[in-house]
Amino acid sequence: MNNLAVTVAWVLAALFLGPTIMGLIQNSLFRENVLLVFSTAHIFVYLVTAIGFAIVAILGTKASVRYMQVFGVVYILMSLFEFVTLSSNGESYQLGITQIYFLSNALHLSTGITIAGAGWILKNCQRRMIFANRAIW
């Protein structure tokens, strides 16, 4: 069993809780002149993502790897869509709900590439571990 995929899923769940907590604090304490703006919809998406990573970590290796692969690709596509819909001043609304900026798009793209890459790397590690754990007597 590849426990590394499960560990990575737990770490990603914790990391996605960070923007959720930061968004709650930022929305209540800092109103203007902030680097990243977290709307309620944005906070909710990060919370659901953290819960999703926690669920697949509980389900095991295969679910964790598959979720990372799918989630990473969806995040990449979402960020590319965000880049296309940005206005000339570097901000717009994603699907008319969540305000997005150039910096958040760059963060989404890098996050998607990292998570998708982790999913494919961990899938390959899982295959190698199956053969490495067999006894050669």
pLDDT tens string 105-127: 788 888 899 999 998 888 877 55
Close Cβ partners of 91 (under 8 Å, ≥ 6 residues apart): 99, 100, 101, 102
Please report, for the chain, how many H helices and E strands are present, in that order. 4, 2
Cα dihedral across residues 46, 52, 54, 56: positive or negative: negative
Instruction: Give residue 67's pLDDT.
Output: 94
pLDDT tens string 33-88: 555 666 777 788 889 999 999 999 999 888 999 999 999 999 899 888 877 776 55
Q: Which of 71, 59, 51, 64 is CA-nearest to residue 125?
A: 64
* Cα angle value 19/71/108 (rounded, 5°): 45
Put simply, whether the predicted model's pTM sits higher than 0.85 gets the answer no
